[in-house]
Chains A and B, each alone.
Chain A
């Protein structure tokens, strides 16, 4: 990707180099342990409490360190890296404000089960609890939004803690783990012996499912007349997309993929119904509501998927497959609960294929609906429509790019109109809905996949929440194509105010936003703008042909709404279909 980023050596070489026992500082232990865990890229921001760590990083070349311009940018980049690669994302920040600036990013990763190891400095152990300069109780603050956390009080614990943190982050239901390292601990020396064993009595994720439940599921499949699969992020996180493809082909069951499940199943497949839920397709939502068997694989029945719980999938026998037992029965009672890893479960099911012979009419219904009720919008020859822009991005990149988004209308249009065919190509903040996520996460995704095209789709609101990271794109020549869908308004809020608050538009006008092209250019990033289709085609082609980062602004119609839409409190078949109906 970039001459500025040095080639990495092989993991074996690095292991050999760093495995030997030696008396070193806590900071050196941290860096060596990260290398031994296979880390090749870290995003961070220095400060007082991590000075020893950054001193150890001086001249250290065994992984990349990207200096972001805000800690929030660092953690969203680490998150994008993790989602794109399947590896653990790592970021470093200092104590106090550095650590608290990570909070939104930690919560984002926690809600979407993304494996992160978050390293914060803290004031020296002798100062903890004294309201020292830049002191914050970050383990306390982040307890509800981390899978686990450590405050390391003794340098001798550091190798074990780091090894445990990586294991916990990237196994079971994945999630962020925080390691808080006081300044004196990062300075203290001890004999470093790499830790390769684990002793975690309280942590044994259930991977293998209960066979009896699988038999029940197979029996239910063979009897089903209107079966539907909902596949979520768990399929992607477990690496189960191929097993899912085989399972759908074996059973002939129509499938819908949730927002985080997009890419778990090829969108071109005839049994794919699109996304379910608040902005889901007619076919997916009505499919769920009419189903007699609903098989949830690695999704958590989020309220944006279920709509009104009382009327959700009223006719269906519910099967819930999840690695996290606490998800099963939390929102929707399960008739057949299956705790296990999605890939493992699907592979076991594939050993004994059962075809849904009684579902021929159902499959026909699904096909008819897909044709009669596709996603649609009214295009314009005079104005740019955001849906058209996304379709154009999809067509020109053949659905092969990694797409990250921010949160709001553009996110939903991207989910609807970009057609994903492979996992880990769609990176979006689903659970927390974090504005400011879209752009920095693309930087992380590009670091994970230097060879792939990465498109970051943002609104004009969210783009301004982390735009400072244009600097690290520019300085490191990270070739992200930054798309700004500019409708000069906080579009999703505007849409709700129009539809639910009777056109009382309150504080949604983004007048005063910068000229995004000039903003990009101020950082040394190429900026392009289009206001009609002809310009749009031209500048997008130019962006694709430009080797480095490019910001591409599409000025679109202000009043466009995302349809279909299920308003809060409705069942998911009560859909507003919008202007096109």
Chain B
């Protein structure tokens, strides 16, 4: 069967240890985690996790079913099965002598990214977008020398009123 990337939204009780329950489940069942983000949801007491994982349809079905077995899991939605918006934020610290600044800023502008800090020998770029866009931004900045890179992982939501 074909393996591909899936984004899964998991609504969970905001309880101590819930992240450990979910990540532990992925670990011991041999499911992979490409990224995981957690934060408040629209309802007090509940958090939403968005997990990007890789696998075939059978694996995905097992992931959903095993997640539902956790008492603290309220709802599991496979976002990738529907039209969705997926976004990630990255902070990239790039080596930059004052002379290189205009060139880099040009790139940043093209990507609708932003320079959020300037040091004597570096710039910090903030870029928001889907994973491909961030990959592309990183690729373009690599020749200047990336000193530090930090990505949030994907958060996502289904489009429309659903």
Contacts and interface: CB of A to CB of B under 8 A. Distances in A.
Interface stretch (B32-40, B60-68, B109-117, B119-127): B60-68
Contacts of A203: 71
Interface stretch (A39-47, A143-151, A400-408): A143-151
Nearest to A172: B69
B16 A325 contact: no
A329 B71 CA distance: 21
Interface in A272-328: 324-326
B73 A202 contact: yes
A224 interface: no
A139 interface: yes
B99 interface: no
A326 B21 contact: no
A31 B95 CA distance: 65
B28 interface: yes
Contacts of A148: 70-71
B17 interface: yes
Nearest to A148: B71
Given A143-B24, A202-B73, A326 B62 contact: yes
A140 B13 contact: no
B10 to A, nearest CB: 10
A324 B66 CA distance: 9
A168 interface: yes
A20 interface: no
B61 A329 contact: yes
Contacts of A144: 24-25, 28
Contact of B71 (A151, A168, A173, A326): A168
**Chain A contact patch, size range:** 10 to 19
Contacts of B28: 144
B72 interface: yes
A330 interface: yes
Contacts of A201: 13, 74
A328 to B, nearest CB: 8
B150 interface: no
A330 B24 contact: no
Contacts of B69: 147, 173, 324, 326
Contacts of B74: 201-202
Nearest to B65: A326
Contacts of A140: 17, 20
B62 A330 contact: yes
Interface residues of B, number: 21
Interface string B10-27: 001100110011001100
A200 interface: yes
Contacts of A200: 71
A140 B27 CA distance: 14
Contact of A326 (B16, B66, B73): B66
B61 A143 contact: no
Nearest to A330: B62
Contact of A151 (B13, B17, B24, B73): B17
Nearest to A326: B65
Interface string B136-154: 0000000000000000000
A202 B70 contact: yes
Contacts of A324: 69
B20 A143 contact: yes
A202 B61 contact: no
Interface string B91-133: 0000000000000000000000000000000000000000000
Contacts of B4: none
A203 to B, nearest CB: 5
A173 B62 CA distance: 16
Contacts of B61: 329
A329 B66 CA distance: 12
A212 B23 CA distance: 36
A163 B139 CA distance: 55
Contacts of A151: 16-17
Contacts of A326: 62, 65-66, 68-69
A173 B20 CA distance: 22
B13 A202 contact: yes
Interface in B34-81: 58, 61-62, 65-66, 68-74
A173 B68 CA distance: 13
Contacts of A329: 58, 61-62
Counting chain A CB atoms within 10 Å of each CB, which of B20, B21, B65, B70 scores highest? B65
A122 to B, nearest CB: 14
Contacts of A325: 65, 68
20 contacts: A139-B17, A140-B17, A140-B20, A143-B24, A144-B25, A144-B28, A147-B69, A147-B71, A151-B16, A168-B71, A202-B13, A202-B70, A202-B71, A202-B73, A203-B71, A324-B69, A325-B65, A326-B62, A326-B66, A329-B61
Q: Which 8 A-B pairs have the closest CB atoms?
A: A326-B65, A148-B71, A202-B74, A203-B71, A144-B28, A325-B65, A202-B73, A201-B74
Given A143-B17, A144-B24, 17 more contacts: A139-B17, A143-B20, A143-B24, A147-B69, A147-B71, A151-B16, A151-B17, A168-B71, A201-B13, A201-B74, A202-B71, A325-B68, A326-B62, A326-B65, A326-B69, A329-B61, A329-B62
Interface of A: 139-140, 143-144, 147-148, 151, 168, 173, 200-203, 324-326, 329-330
